[in-house]
Structure 1
């Protein structure tokens, strides 16, 4: 996958200090990754890069809305997301991203592309079970909800209909008491 240049930070010319970068993520970003679970995306990303003499520290903060489909009714709704992540970038002999919190870049590297970190941070901010707020509070009027209600087992049925005595069970119950 070709890296998106707007998410590449050239850190070699930066002073030893904290630098701030702001990004606006929209649906086209996820189309680049061929991720189709989101209907629409409006997410703000703030990145604080602290450059030190021997390493870089990055603090990512994402917040915004993603429009996704409900797992119960398949109705689209806006899900608020908030997430943060810290990354330490060190320099070594070869590229290594095996540790989730530490990235090792080869000596002589002059830029860092953060698009993969942003992608994962936004994806992981969305809840695993996606339920429309109208389902939780009962305000959503949906054909699927009505059908689910119709097909759900009834818990408050008359218990008398289930407690009719069956002579076969009576004989088995008698075996339990005969010892």
Structure 2
């Protein structure tokens, strides 16, 4: 993964208080992330950092649109991102990442937010991204129907294996 200077925050020099940063995650940001599901987008991020006695609370507000691949027709589609995420950073004896709690050593001067920013966007994506009904590429949907292996319905006159009929009766009785 490419580390980008723009997304690093020097935390060692921060005095107690609240700090705000704004970031723009564009196509360049997403394309720099290796093996990313999202490669294009336009997401605005507002970061609020509160430092109180050696503890840093990071709060991220994300809003924008990313381009993802439709799992049904494979065309590119827009997906709206509107999220709030965050984590807490404290100093400790060794580096520990526990999801929403991050412990760093005293010699750590800065935090690279690149991966966190990408991860917060990726966590907003559903498991399956598909266009709304009727918006998929009709050519691809036709091919999907043709090659999916699912038969529309048993054609009339075509004999059904009696074993399947018996199994169907068992299912219907339960």
Q: TM-score, normalised by structure 2?
A: 0.79
Give the Cα–Cα distance (whole angstroms) in 2 for the partners of residues 36 and 91 of structure 1.
Answer: 30
Give the Cα–Cα distance (whole angstroms) in 2 for the partners of residues 70 and 24 of structure 1.
Answer: 24
Give the Cα–Cα distance (whole angstroms) in 1 for the partners of residues 63 and 5 of structure 2.
Answer: 22
Matches within 5 A, 1:142-157: 142-150=138-146, 152-155=150-153
Give the Cα–Cα distance (whole angstroms) in 2 for the partners of residues 122 and 43 of structure 1.
Answer: 9
| SS across alignment from 2:34 | coil
What's the offset of the Cα at 1:34?
A: 1.9
Q: Which residue of 2 aligns with 1:121?
A: 120
Matches within 5 A, 1:1-179: 1=1, 3-97=3-97, 99-133=98-132, 136=133, 138-150=134-146, 152-155=150-153, 161=157
Q: How many residues align?
A: 162
Distance 1:139 1:86, change over 3 A: closer
Which of the pair has more CA radius of gyration? 1
Give the Cα–Cα distance (whole angstroms) in 1 for the partners of residues 86 and 19 of structure 2.
Answer: 15
| SS across alignment from 1:94 | coil
Distance 1:165 1:54, change over 3 A: closer
What's the offset of the Cα at 1:48?
A: 0.9
Give the Cα–Cα distance (whole angstroms) in 1 for the partners of residues 160 and 4 of structure 2.
Answer: 72
Gaps of 5+ in 1: 173-179
Distance 1:106 1:127, change over 3 A: same
Give the Cα–Cα distance (whole angstroms) in 2 for the partners of residues 108 and 38 of structure 1.
Answer: 33
Gaps of 5+ in 2: 167-174
Give the Cα–Cα distance (whole angstroms) in 1 for the partners of residues 89 and 53 of structure 2.
Answer: 12
What's the offset of the Cα at 1:119?
A: 1.6
Give the Cα–Cα distance (whole angstroms) in 1 for the partners of residues 160 and 123 of structure 2.
Answer: 54
Give the Cα–Cα distance (whole angstroms) in 2 for the partners of residues 129 and 104 of structure 1.
Answer: 34
Give the Cα–Cα distance (whole angstroms) in 2 for the partners of residues 31 and 74 of structure 1.
Answer: 19
